[in-house]
């Protein structure tokens, strides 16, 4: 056998390394830890793998983890070798997760892995098929180590020659061994006859016990089955009840959906009768009743209004003049159209006679003004709270200092209430005073405006009674004065409005409450008081800084000035808005008047004032000619006033109706939402209970099925049958034990005979060992014996005394030489029957002296002519002694490991 090349993908320290080998001596010289032993392990592992021998399951050698690649990369090798006249390439992956072994025949590289047998360890017999040696026997024979053989008893049949390997005793002993192996030693084994019989006996005993307990278990299971049947019936009733409840919930949800849709369609009082009848409680029914009655009143007013309007239209139609009056260039003009024009003219005159300010005022940023006002109020409130907190903390700090001084001088603590209350007097800010002064001014101006508005109303009534145009102007003035008085009245704090809006400001600037009494404070408490006081003062300063920034932004010195400036800007904004509204209204009225006059026939080239004067003049003439029509006009005016009052009342009632319906819809939908939430919660609870019930039913059905199956299974057991099986199994075990004892006795007898026979078959091995020992020791030890019955133990005759000594009694160097003789003798004996095997020497000569080393190396070179030898050394003397053999030699090679 020749190992030609080894490529290491990953093995120990080696990574991607290739080693070509010579057919003779391969000398590896390198210092310690250079990887010599790792390389030797890689050679053996590439041939045989890394699994243990003589076991039936996969077990890895201890070297598996020891030589795992240091870089945790691929764990693999590829070896090329020649064996039996053929060349092979063997590729191995050693990782347990993806273990792989593939064999290729060279030079065609055809895969022949499946031609070899795979054992229970999942290892192929690539080398073992050719050599008849497994890994343990191969390393015992080829690797010279200073330790006994591991597979000595398995080597003995291999050492016998073919003509010595077939005696009748050997065949009988092999048959006995097979019989004993088949029977087995333990009853717990899996594959032996004794193990099978023991398991059958155990099973028979279990079946017998089961049969004895079957009737008890069946009766117990039957009782449980009846109880579960009753429980299942109850659960089925409960399931049906939950299903009915879910159907009721479904109908309730559909009914709820109808009422929800109806809540958007209910607008008339008659529709509320259904809601009253369907109310879930008296409070809800009372709410529907009140809304229905309120809507009925509003609907009655609507009917009354429509009746009044219809009556006025009927009277106006009956009182309208039958004859048509023509004036100058006028076309036919309806009385209603004239009254509309006249009202529009009076309104235009009222706007035109208003005093107009010639100053142009800038636009006022009302939104920013109001936002800064609210922010200022909030900052004042926070500053006032911080001021009160600072004052309270100062009082507490002062009280703590007085308490400390009082304790230091032995005096009693003086109450701090008087000083605190005295210092916490009324602190009204100037903002509050300014606001009160402004409010007082508004209160003084309000009676004057109310009196003016009342006087103007009396004058207007007189002028309108006599039908003069000034009456309409006076009416407009009355409306303006009344609006101003109403605004002041609304802004008064007694009536609500802005006064109520400023309540937070008044509450903010009110007097601080009396500071409560302070409790005694410890040293740590005083420090905390100081920190809180500093923090409050800092926050107060920050609020005052923000207020100052706000005042600076509006360019006012203080908050009272800001409030005054705000009132001024709000009034200015109101005036600007009123002015814009007046101008727009005047333009609209003038356009309406011009369009009407052009339609009547007034020439469009006339100025507006002349056209209006012409119309008024013609109208005055017409009034003088027809007093009856004037009466009709007055009557229509009264009807128009009544209609306006009814229209205002209509609008008010319509707003009440919208608000009433909105509040009702909100309340009803809130009630419906609550009902829907209850329905959903009820549905969830019912569905949860239904699922739990169904799960319980499924669990009960499963348990009942298991119980029925268990009853059926236990019913199959027969005590008589189980007893018969148990007796048969017990008898079978007794028969196997008796047979095993007989076979064991026969085996021991034959082995004793065979041992005597082996002693007669080992002279050739002893002769080879004596020859090797004599060459290695320079002729000192010439008689070496290997005992095959004791693992090929080494014994030698001592020179001079002719005594016998075991190798363990000799020196370390001599022991190494005898181990060398033992391995070489076995190597040559086995190689003679097969083919030359390689020899591995890993720093074996380290204990040899110079003389014996030279003799041993000379013998090694003789072996290298027939065998491939791998010599690993960490010293230079082997290289020095072997250098003459290595020079210019193609059969031998020197390799220096880096």
Write out pLDDT tens, residues 761-787.
467 788 888 888 888 888 888 878 777
Shortest CA distance to 464 belongs to which of 640, 595, 295, 325?
Answer: 640
Burial of 464 by CB count in 10 Å (0-12 exposed, 13-18 middle, 19+ buried)? Answer: middle
Pairwise CA distance, residues 678 & 33, whole Å: 83
Structure tokens at 533: 């006081």
With 0-12 CB in 10 A as exposed, 13-18 as middle and 19+ as buried, what is 509? Answer: buried
CA distances from 782 to 575, 770, 791, 807 (A): 141, 5, 21, 14
Using DSSP, state whether 343 is helix, strand or coil: helix
Nearest in space to 838 (alpha carbons), one of 808, 860, 857? 860
Tokens 């025949």 sit on residue: 105
The pLDDT, as a whole number, for residue 528 is 85
- Distance of alpha carbon 488 from the chain centroid: 63
CA distances to 465, 470, 474 from 462, rounded to whole Å, are: 5, 10, 10
- Nearest partner of 458 among 441, 446, 475, judged by Cα: 475
The CA distances from residue 400 to 397, 513, 520, in Å, are: 5, 21, 6
User: Burial, 107: exposed, middle or buried (Cβ in 10 Å; 0-12, 13-18, 19+)?
Assistant: exposed
Cα atoms found within 13 Å of the Cα of residue 330, Cβ hemisphere only: 22
CA distance between the termini of the chain: 27
CA distance 665 to 159: 110
* Tokens 């145009």 -> residue: 469
Question: Do residues 256 and 675 lie in contact, with contact meaning Cβ atoms separated by under 8 Å?
Answer: yes
> Containing H/E element for 110?
strand 110-111
The per-residue pLDDT for 480 is: 65
pLDDT in tens, 260-273: 888 887 778 787 88
How confident is the model at residue 758, as a pLDDT? 54
Return the bridge partners of 646, or none: none
By residue count, the chain amounts to: 898
Burial of 322 (0-12, 13-18, 19+ CB in 10 A): exposed
> Locate tokens 């180590």: which residue?
145
Give the integer Cα–Cα distance in Å for 358 and 613. Answer: 27
Phi/psi class of residue 334: alpha, beta or left (left: φ > 0; alpha: ψ in -120 to 50)?
beta
Give the distance from CA 718 to its chain's centroid.
59
DSSP lists the bridge partners of residue 104 as 89, 111
Closest CA to 277 of 268, 266, 264, 288: 288
On the question of a cis peptide bond just before residue 22, with omega within 30 degrees of 0, the verdict is no
**Close Cβ partners of 271 (under 8 Å, ≥ 6 residues apart):** 262, 265
- Which ranges of 807-887 does DSSP label H, i.e. alpha helix? 812-833, 850-864, 876-886
Task: Specify whether the CB–CB gap between 888 and 17 falls below 8 A.
Answer: no
Task: Residue 52: count other Cβ atoms within 10 Å of its Cβ.
Answer: 16
Q: What pLDDT does residue 76 have?
A: 93
Pair of tokens at residue 501: 């809006």
Look at residues 488, 509, 512 and name the one whose alpha carbon lies nearest to residue 559. 509
Which secondary structure element, helix H or strand E, spans residue 9, and what is its range?
strand 2-11
Two structure tokens written together for 233: 């019936």
Nearest to 838 by CA among 46, 60, 93: 46
- Rounded to the nearest 10°, the torsion over CA 558, 560, 562, 565 is -130
Confidence at residue 759, expressed as pLDDT on a 0 to 100 scale: 55
**CA separation for the pair 13, 41 (Å, rounded):** 12
- The answer to whether 197 and 730 are in contact (CB under 8 A) is no
Q: Select from 143, 80, 147 the least CA-distant residue to 872.
A: 143
d(CA 757, CA 172): 14
Two structure tokens written together for 783: 């008689």
Q: What one-character DSSP code corresponds to residue 843?
A: S
Burial of 144 (0-12, 13-18, 19+ CB in 10 A): buried
- Average pLDDT, consecutive stretches of 10 residues, N- to C-terminus, the chain (898 residues): 94 94 94 91 91 72 88 92 92 85 92 82 78 86 86 70 49 68 68 76 77 72 84 89 90 86 80 80 84 84 82 67 45 75 85 68 79 88 90 87 77 43 39 51 59 62 52 60 60 43 42 48 74 88 89 88 86 82 85 83 80 80 65 74 80 84 85 88 90 89 82 63 79 80 75 57 75 84 77 76 74 86 88 89 89 90 93 90 88 85
Per DSSP, the three-state class of 14 is: strand
Contacts of 574 (CB under 8 A, 6+ apart): none
Instruction: Work out whether strand 86-93 and strand 804-806 pair parallel, antiparallel, or are unpaired.
Output: unpaired
Q: Considering the chain, what is the average pLDDT of its residues? A: 78
Question: Distance between CA 214 and CA 234 in Å, rounded?
Answer: 30
């Amino acid at each position: 056998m020749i190992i030609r090349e080894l490529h290491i993908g990953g093995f120990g320290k080696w990574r991607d390394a290739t080693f070509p080998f010579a057919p003779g001596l391969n000398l590896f010289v390198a210092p310690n830890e250079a990887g010599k032993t790792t390389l030797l392990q890689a050679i053996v592992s590439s041939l045989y793998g890394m699994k243990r021998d003589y076991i039936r399951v996969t077990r890895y050698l201890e070297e598996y983890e020891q030589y795992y690649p240091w870089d945790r990369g691929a764990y693999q090798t590829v070896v090329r070798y020649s064996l039996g006249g053929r060349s092979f390439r063997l590729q191995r992956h050693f990782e347990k997760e993806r273990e792989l072994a593939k064999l290729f025949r060279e030079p065609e590289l055809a895969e022949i892995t499946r031609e070899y047998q795979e054992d229970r360890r999942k290892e192929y017999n690539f080398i073992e098929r050719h050599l008849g040696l497994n890994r343990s026997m191969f390393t015992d024979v080829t690797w010279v180590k200073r330790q006994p053989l591991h597979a000595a008893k398995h080597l003995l049949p291999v050492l016998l020659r073919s003509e010595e390997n077939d005696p009748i005793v050997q065949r009988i002993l092999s048959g006995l061994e097979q019989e004993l192996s088949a029977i087995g030693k333990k009853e717990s084994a899996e594959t032996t006859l004794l193990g099978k019989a023991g398991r059958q006996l155990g099973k028979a005993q279990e079946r017998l016990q089961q049969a004895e307990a079957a009737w008890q278990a069946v009766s117990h299971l039957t009782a449980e089955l009846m109880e579960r049947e009753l429980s299942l019936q109850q659960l089925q009733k409960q399931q049906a009840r939950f299903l009915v409840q879910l159907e009721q919930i479904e109908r309730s949800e559909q009914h709820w959906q109808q009422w929800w849709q109806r809540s958007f369609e209910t607008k008339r009082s008659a529709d509320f009768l259904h809601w009253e009848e369907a109310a879930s409680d008296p409070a809800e029914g009372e709410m529907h009743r009140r809304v229905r009655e309120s809507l009925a009143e509003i609907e009655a007013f609507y009917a009354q209004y429509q009746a009044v309007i219809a009556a006025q239209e009927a009277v106006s139609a009956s009182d309208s003049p039958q004859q048509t009056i023509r004036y100058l260039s006028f076309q036919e003009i309806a009385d209603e159209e004239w009254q509309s024009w006249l009202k529009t003219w009076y309104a235009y005159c009222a706007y035109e006679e208003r005093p107009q300010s010639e100053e142009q005022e800038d636009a006022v940023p009302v939104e920013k003004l109001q936002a800064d006002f609210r922010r200022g109020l909030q900052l004042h409130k926070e500053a006032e709270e911080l001021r009160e907190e600072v004052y309270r903390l100062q009082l507490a700090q002062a009280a703590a200092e007085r308490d400390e001084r009082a304790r230091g001088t032995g005096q009693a603590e003086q109450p701090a209430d008087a000083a605190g209350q005295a210092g916490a007097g009324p602190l009204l800010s100037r903002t509050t005073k300014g606001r009160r002064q402004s409010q007082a001014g508004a209160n003084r101006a309000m009676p004057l405006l109310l009196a003016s508005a009342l006087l103007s109303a009396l004058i207007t009534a007189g002028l309108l009674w006599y039908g003069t145009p000034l009456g309409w102007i006076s009416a407009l003035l009355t409306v303006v004065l009344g609006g101003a008085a109403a605004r002041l009245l609304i802004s008064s704090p007694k009536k609500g409005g802005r006064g109520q809006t400023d309540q937070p400001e008044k509450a903010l600037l009110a007097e601080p409450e009396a500071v409560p009494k302070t409790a005694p404070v410890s040293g740590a408490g005083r420090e905390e008081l100081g920190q809180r006081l500093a923090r409050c003062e800092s926050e107060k300063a920050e609020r005052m800084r923000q207020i100052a920034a706000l005042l600076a932004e509006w360019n006012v010195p203080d908050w009272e000035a800001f409030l005054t400036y705000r009132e001024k800007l709000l009034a200015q904004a109101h005036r600007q808005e009123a002015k814009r509204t007046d101008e727009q209204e005047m333009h609209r009225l003038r356009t309406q008047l011009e369009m009407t006059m052009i339609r009547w026939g007034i020439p469009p080239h006339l100025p507006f004032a002349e056209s209006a004067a012409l119309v008024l003049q013609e109208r005055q003439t017409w009034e003088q000619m027809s007093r009856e029509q004037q009466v009709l006009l007055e009557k229509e005016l009264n009807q128009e006033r009544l209609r306006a009052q009814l229209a205002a009342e209509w609008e008010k009632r319509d707003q009440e109706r919208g608000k009433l319906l909105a509040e009702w819809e909100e309340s009803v939908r809130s009630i419906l939402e609550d009902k829907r939430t209850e329905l959903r919660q009820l549905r969830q609870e019912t569905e949860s209970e239904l699922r739990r019930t169904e799960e319980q039913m499924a669990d009960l059905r499963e348990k009942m099925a298991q119980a029925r199956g268990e009853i059926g299974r236990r019913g199959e057991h027969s005590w008589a049958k189980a007893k018969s099986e148990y007796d048969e199994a017990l008898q079978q075990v007794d028969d196997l034990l008796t047979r095993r004892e007989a076979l064991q006795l026969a085996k021991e007898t034959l082995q004793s005979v065979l041992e005597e026979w082996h002693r007669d078959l080992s002279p050739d091995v002893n002769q080879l060992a004596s020859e090797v020992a004599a060459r290695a020791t320079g002729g000192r030890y010439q008689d070496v014996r290997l005992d095959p019955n004791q693992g090929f133990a080494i014994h030698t005759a001592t020179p001079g005394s002719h005594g016998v000594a075991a190798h363990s009694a000799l020196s370390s160097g001599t022991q190494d030489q005898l181990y060398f003789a033992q391995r070489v003798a076995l190597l040559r004996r086995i190689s003679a029957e097969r083919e030359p095997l390689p020899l591995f020497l890993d720093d074996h000569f380290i204990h040899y002296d110079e003389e014996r080393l030279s003799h041993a190396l000379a013998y090694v070179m003789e072996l290298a002519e027939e065998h491939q030898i791998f010599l690993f050394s960490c010293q230079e003397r082997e290289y020095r002694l072997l250098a003459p053999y290595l020079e210019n030699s193609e059969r031998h090679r020197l390799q220096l490991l880096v």
